[in-house]
Structures are given as C-alpha cells and as structure tokens.
Amino acid sequence: MARPVVAIVGRPNVGKSTIFNRVIGDRLAIVEDKPGITRDRLYAPGEWSGKLFSIVDTGGIEIDGEDEIMKSVRMQAELAIEEADVIIFMVDAMAGLTHADDEVAHMLFRSRKPVVVAVNKVDNLRRTDEIYEFYSLGFGEPIAISGAHGTGIGDLLDAVVRKLPELEDIEYEDDVIRVALIGRPNVGKSSLVNAILGEDRVIVSHVAGTTRDAIDTPFEKDGQKYVLIDTAGMRKRGKVYETTEKYSVMRSLKAIERADVALILINGEEGIIEQDKHIAGYAHEAGKASVFVVNKWDAVEKDEKTMQNFEQHIRDHFLFMSYAPVVFLSAKTKSRLHKLLPVVDHVSEQHALRIQTHLLNDVVADAVAINPPPTDKGKRLRINYVTQVAVKPPTMVIFVNDPELMHFSYQRYLENKIRAAFDFEGTPVRIVTRRKSEAD
C-alpha cells in the first residue's frame, strides 16, 4: 500500500530540516543555521502511533526570490505541496509572524490540503505565549515545538496522523506480478505500457509530465497475470517545467511500494543522469526486484560493442544494484520487446525464492572454510548457523557469537557466495546478523 505523504514547508531557516531529522530519527537532512541549505526535497519513511507515512523535507520558500536557485526551491516546495496528503507549516517563534509566513499561508490555502502549524524554537515556557499570534494564519491551533530540544514533537505528530487519510489498497490475487514502471519523465514509461499491451491504453505525449496519476493496468500473457503500474510524471498546473527530472520521485515511491518488480527505465539516447540513480536507489532500499530497461534503443547509433559498453556503463553507475539484469528495447518500434516479460517472470521468482535451511548452511559453511572471518582486536567472528526468515526480498539471519565482529566486507562476501549458489538474480538479498542466544 502506498503511504500517505506529509510535507514540511515554510520560509527559510525556520528549522524544517531539524524537525525532519527528529521525525525519522536520523540526520539525513543537512542542518545548518543558514538560509537555503536544503534545496531539493528529501524523502524518508516515518511512523507514529502505528501509522506509516512518507515525510518530505523541502527547501525554504522565498516568495520574492528571483534567482534561479530560489525559483527552483519554490517550485520544489509547490510540487511537494501538490503531492502531500498533510502539510506541516513551520514558523519561527523567535521571529514572530512575518509577511513571508502570510504568503506561504496563502499558497497553502490554495492547495486545500490539511495543514498543521508547527511553531518552532519555543525553547522554554516563557516563549509559550508567543504562539498565539499564529492563530491568525487560519489553520487552527498552532503547536509549540522545539527542534533543538525535541519537545512537542509527539504533539505535532499526533495532530498530523489525525489528519492522515485512510488509504485503501487495491487487492490483487497472490499469483499476480505487480510491475511498476519508474523513471524520470519522458523516458517512455507510458509508451512501454502501450507496447506491452499492444494498444494505446495510456495517453502518450512528447511533453514530459503528461501522465497525471498512477494507472494500474491488469493484463495476462501466456497464463501469467500482471498489473502494470505506470507512474505519473510530476507536473505543475498550467505549466510543465524543463527541469522535470527532479520531480519524478514521489510518485515513483508510491508505485514502488505497491510493486513486486520495478522496471527502471533509462533513456538510451540521453544516457544515465543523477536522477536515474536516485530513483533506482528507492527500488533497492524498498527491497523490490528490479530490471534496468534501456528504452529508445532504436534511436541509438550502434556497433557490435555498443550494447556491451552501455551495460558496463550501467554497472559502473549502479554498483549497489549489480544483481539487476539489463534489457535493451524500443517501445516505439517494439524491437526486443519480447525479451522483457520473461525477465520480469524470472526476477519475480527469485524475489520470492525460499532456500531450505540445511542448503543455506552448507553454502555458508563452505564459504567460511574457504575464507575464514578475519580477527578483530584478537577476537574472531564465529558463525553458528543461518536461516532464511522472509521473502520479497529474500532475508537471511546469520547467528554469530558477536554481531559487531561481522565486517561489512565479509558480509558482502557471504552474500556473493549465497548468490553464486542460488542465483537471486534481480532481487536484493537482505542479511541480518544476530547474537546466538540460549533460546536459539
């Protein structure tokens, strides 16, 4: 099920990134006492009172900023607002209510989204009275918080989750493979859907960002049932921005969460850009089976080494996803299209593959015999046994004498040995190290 989205917005330097980090329990956003540090939106999963959501940290909105960076920041914030289900409107108790706050409030009123006003920098009880002027913003009771001290965050999140919508997931049968087409706008997602289906089921345009909502399209081929989830391109009402590659993330996230297999589309004409890495990284972090699909291959000038060189280019840029196969095709001409669904079937099987415990332990025991764990300060890692505890993605728990002795390089070595024995092509493999207890 796609998580509802909570966006943190406000003018610069009110403490949005500090609150973002408090909510997710990590220092993902850069925090510095200087306006304009957070430029692009940051996304992370959040949870409160049993409710899951995605939280977005945006750059500060400067209504009057006219330089290109501030225009981009304002644009990003507007797009986050458009995607959000609930908005946290951050203001500053020390600065008081400003003209810029009023301008942001007008923007939020136009969005017609639920808004919770968070008054930051209420660092002591004497400042509590300073929140009352923010009632005039018109969004109900402001909530006093302190990002620096962590106070009031629970009250803020209580108010947020009360406004979160109840999302209904579409139920599909267990044997259906849900395939999300993800990628920056104008890489040919909608065209690929149409090519697979053999009919124009999704509107296709040369203008980036014309797909408005995620579209589920069930179909069946050779006895296998699929659902194609075409992710919408990001857009601004009345205008499509040239820098659209920055704005495809949120809808890709929503589609990834509901998918079994992610098709990561890359424009064969343009090659790989940084945004492709971001989008692929979300599929990897979500534990989804993945396939790189290089589209528009018909438009690429080729020799006998072009495909090999392009695949190596992908491997060099996506080192963290060496497990994902690469398919070259053209949605426009349907060249090589027949190769795609068999690969989807294969990686979906690997994603759901479960290995018997004794076979897994045999492979790990052989790996340890060939290359014993190194010592660390006179202590040596001892592996007791390993078992698979989950699928989608395959997740292994390795019980050891001391988890701190498991170096990431040795864990990667074990993962590589497991992959060599059991394939797992197209799927991440999660390895968790735990201390063996008496109960185990």
Residue 57 known to bind ligand: yes
Q: What does the pLDDT read at residue 159?
A: 93
Q: How confident is the model at residue 363 (pLDDT cuts 50, 70, 90)?
A: very high
Residue 277 known to bind ligand: no
Average pLDDT over residues 374-392: 90
Residue 94 known to bind ligand: no
Residue 188 known to bind ligand: yes
Give bridge partners of residue 144 from the DSSP assignment.
Answer: 119
Residue 190 known to bind ligand: yes
d(CA 248, CA 182): 9
Q: What does the pLDDT read at residue 143?
A: 92
Task: Kindly tell me if the per-residue pLDDT of 35 is higher than 70.
Answer: no
Domains and CATH numbers, the chain: 5-163 (3.40.50.300), 177-350 (3.40.50.300), 357-435 (3.30.300.20)
Running DSSP on this structure, what letter comes out for residue 14? S
Percent of the chain residues topping a pLDDT of 90: 39
What DSSP string describes 310-350? Answer: HHHHHHHH-GGGTTS-EEE--TTT-TTGGGHHHHHHHHHHH
Residue 123 known to bind ligand: yes
Average pLDDT over residues 415-433: 95
Residue 223 known to bind ligand: no
In Å, the largest CA–CA distance within the chain is 74
Which of left, alpha, beta for 275 (phi over 0: left; psi -120 to 50: alpha)?
Answer: alpha
For the chain, the average pLDDT equals 81
The answer to whether 400 and 382 are in contact (CB under 8 A) is yes
Bigger pLDDT: 57 vs 269: 269
**List of residues 6+ apart from 392 with CB closer than 8 A:** 260, 287, 351, 352
Q: What does the pLDDT read at residue 169?
A: 54
Residue 297 known to bind ligand: yes
Average pLDDT over residues 198-212: 49
Q: What does the pLDDT read at residue 147?
A: 81
d(CA 37, CA 34): 6
Q: Which of 123, 86, 98, 88 is nearest to 17 (CA)?
A: 88
Residue 120 known to bind ligand: yes
Bigger pLDDT: 134 vs 17: 134
Alpha-carbon distance values, 228 to 109, 136, 173, 215, 259 (Å):
35, 46, 14, 8, 9
Residue 65 known to bind ligand: no
Q: What does the pLDDT read at residue 37?
A: 35
Task: Kindly tell me if the per-residue pLDDT of 438 is higher than 60.
Answer: no
Q: What does the pLDDT read at residue 313?
A: 94
Residue 194 known to bind ligand: no
Residue 330 known to bind ligand: no
Beta pairing, strands 430-435 & 42-48? unpaired
> pLDDT (tens digit, 9 = 90+) per residue, 316-337?
999 999 999 999 999 999 999 9
Sheet harboring 51-57: ordered strands across?
A: 42-48, 51-57, 5-9, 86-92, 115-120, 143-144
Q: How confident is the model at residue 419 (pLDDT cuts 50, 70, 90)?
A: very high
Residue 104 known to bind ligand: no
Residue 14 known to bind ligand: yes
Q: What does the pLDDT read at residue 71?
A: 58
Residue 298 known to bind ligand: yes
In three-state secondary structure terms, 181 is strand
Q: What does the pLDDT read at residue 351?
A: 96
Residue 268 known to bind ligand: no
Average pLDDT over residues 276-284: 87
Residue 254 known to bind ligand: no
Task: Kindly tell me if the per-residue pLDDT of 206 is higher than 80.
Answer: no
> pLDDT (tens digit, 9 = 90+) per residue, 54-106?
888 776 565 555 555 445 556 656 776 777 889 999 898 888 888 888 888 88
d(CA 217, CA 199): 12
Residue 4 known to bind ligand: no
Q: How confident is the model at residue 239 (pLDDT cuts 50, 70, 90)?
A: very low
Helix axes 68-83, 249-258, angle to 10 degrees: 30
Q: Which of 21, 9, 11 is nearest to 70 (CA)?
A: 11
> pLDDT (tens digit, 9 = 90+) per residue, 167-191?
655 566 778 999 999 887 778 888 8
> pLDDT (tens digit, 9 = 90+) per residue, 286-305?
899 999 999 999 988 888 89
Rounded to the nearest angstrom, the gap between the alpha carbon of residue 293 and the centroid of all alpha carbons in its chain is 18
Task: Kindly tell me if the per-residue pLDDT of 125 is higher than 50.
Answer: yes
Q: How many CB atoms lie within 10 A of CB 190?
A: 25
Which of left, alpha, beta for 156 (phi over 0: left; psi -120 to 50: alpha)?
Answer: alpha
d(CA 379, CA 433): 17
Give bridge partners of residue 143 from the DSSP assignment.
Answer: 118
Residue 296 known to bind ligand: yes
Beta pairing, strands 224-230 & 177-182? parallel
Bigger pLDDT: 229 vs 337: 337
d(CA 295, CA 187): 7
The answer to whether 106 and 274 are in contact (CB under 8 A) is no
Sheet harboring 289-295: ordered strands across?
A: 215-221, 224-230, 177-182, 261-267, 289-295, 326-328
The answer to whether 394 and 354 are in contact (CB under 8 A) is yes
Task: Kindly tell me if the per-residue pLDDT of 234 is higher than 60.
Answer: no
